[in-house]
Amino acid sequence: ETGVTQSPTHLIKTRGQQVTLRCSSQSGHNTVSWYQQALGQGPQFIFQYYREEENGRGNFPPRFSGLQFPNYSSELNVNALELDDSALYLCASSLVGFTTNTGELFFGEGSRLTVL
């Protein structure tokens, strides 16, 4: 067990709705990253937060946004949901800050989002 917890584990939304996913990072970790994993695909990097600031972003539109709180927990918000947003959303925490070293990522079990 990594100590990274995500909620909810499963949820169903309809097109156009908004969703908030939550992640509690492992104790002592100050960096959180989010990934989208479609069925049969590898995880795709959405963004990373270091000490409450976004410090890296993948090729995702602005309707994907996030927050990191002083306790280093994090939220992923997705607005105007589309069918293609259906995926497993993974959160990972680590001790890596402003470096190019990915370090070791500790993943949660993910939140399975289905958009109808």
Residues engaged in binding another protein (CB under 8 A): 2, 4, 33, 35, 41-45, 48, 55-58, 88, 90, 92, 98-110
- Closest approach of another protein to the CB of residue 55, in Å: 5
Return the beta strands (E) in 10-108 as ranges.
Answer: 10-13, 19-24, 31-37, 44-50, 53-57, 64-68, 74-78, 87-94, 106-107
User: Which is closer to another protein, CB of 77 or CB of 102?
Assistant: 102
User: Which is closer to another protein, CB of 33 or CB of 68?
Assistant: 33
- Closest approach of another protein to the CB of residue 109, in Å: 5
- Closest approach of another protein to the CB of residue 16, in Å: 27
User: Which is closer to another protein, CB of 15 or CB of 104?
Assistant: 104
DSSP string of 44-72, one letter each residue: EEEEEEETTEEEEE-S--TTEEEEE-TTS
User: Which is closer to another protein, CB of 14 or CB of 50?
Assistant: 50
70 prior amide bond cis, ω within 30: no
C-beta separation of 37 from 53 below 8 A = no
